[in-house]
Chain A
């Protein structure tokens, strides 16, 4: 079946603009994760959704970052008033069990 789908694959935005990144998880997966990967750095946890439980938002770097998961499926990561340090690859993963098992190919965000 289809894997985790992320859109857009690339996004260039001006500093100060808001951006929305979309993730379509594998159908039936109850867990959904967002990470970001900056050049030369390891993956950094952002947020974790599991079923109907309150999400774990402990990795969001500032209040400019937020995420929603509608109907237990599609998720949107929103970054408001983007800064140059937000430039990174944003990765989404989903899972039917514990660990993030299936990752999308990511959205490469460039803030100019």
Chain B
């Protein structure tokens, strides 16, 4: 069965303390892996798409990487405004809308 697991469930950091979030997947035929950010009461906000092992994408303090079994979202020198739930999703079939989401990692950054 296709599965996406995110860890940790929750992460507390001090401002400036870099860390990484993990998204591991067991799927038959990965077509794409997606990272989103979700603030309370809002819909997810698209961050990155990764398609093949070795690929990396960066945006401000965030960097996403992909291997054949997992993806990491690295957060460098986080700020309180980076506090949110980060979601990982994978596309495994031909349907571009049929994504399997993980349960997310809730990140809190304290000043």
Cβ distance A60 to chain B, nearest Cβ, rounded Å: 12
**Is the CB–CB distance between A99 and B49 below 8 Å?**
yes
Tell yes or no: B42 within 8 A of A by CB.
Answer: yes
Interface size class of B (residues with CB under 8 A): 20 to 34
Cβ distance B99 to chain A, nearest Cβ, rounded Å: 6
Cβ distance A48 to chain B, nearest Cβ, rounded Å: 3
Given contact pairs A33-B97, A56-B97, A100-B99, A43 touches B42 in the complex (Cβ within 8 A): no
Which residue, of B41, B44, B89, B97, has the highest number of chain A Cβ atoms within 10 A? B97
The residue from B32, B45, B87, B102 contacting A99, defined by CB atoms under 8 A apart: B32
**Is the CB–CB distance between B101 and A43 below 8 Å?**
yes
The residue from B44, B97, B99 contacting A50, defined by CB atoms under 8 A apart: B97
Given contact pairs A31-B96, A98-B96, A99-B91, A93 touches B101 in the complex (Cβ within 8 A): no
Q: How many angstroms from the CA of A33 to the CA of B91 in the assembled complex?
A: 14
The residue from B89, B95, B102, B104 contacting A56, defined by CB atoms under 8 A apart: B95
Which among A14-22, A69-77, A78-86, A102-110 touches the partner chain? A102-110
Tell yes or no: B98 within 8 A of A by CB.
Answer: yes
Interface set of A (CB-CB < 8 Å, partner B)? 4, 31, 33, 35, 40-45, 47-50, 56, 58-59, 91, 93, 98-106
The 8 closest A-B pairs by CB, nearest first: A48-B97, A103-B43, A42-B101, A43-B101, A56-B95, A33-B97, A101-B46, A42-B103
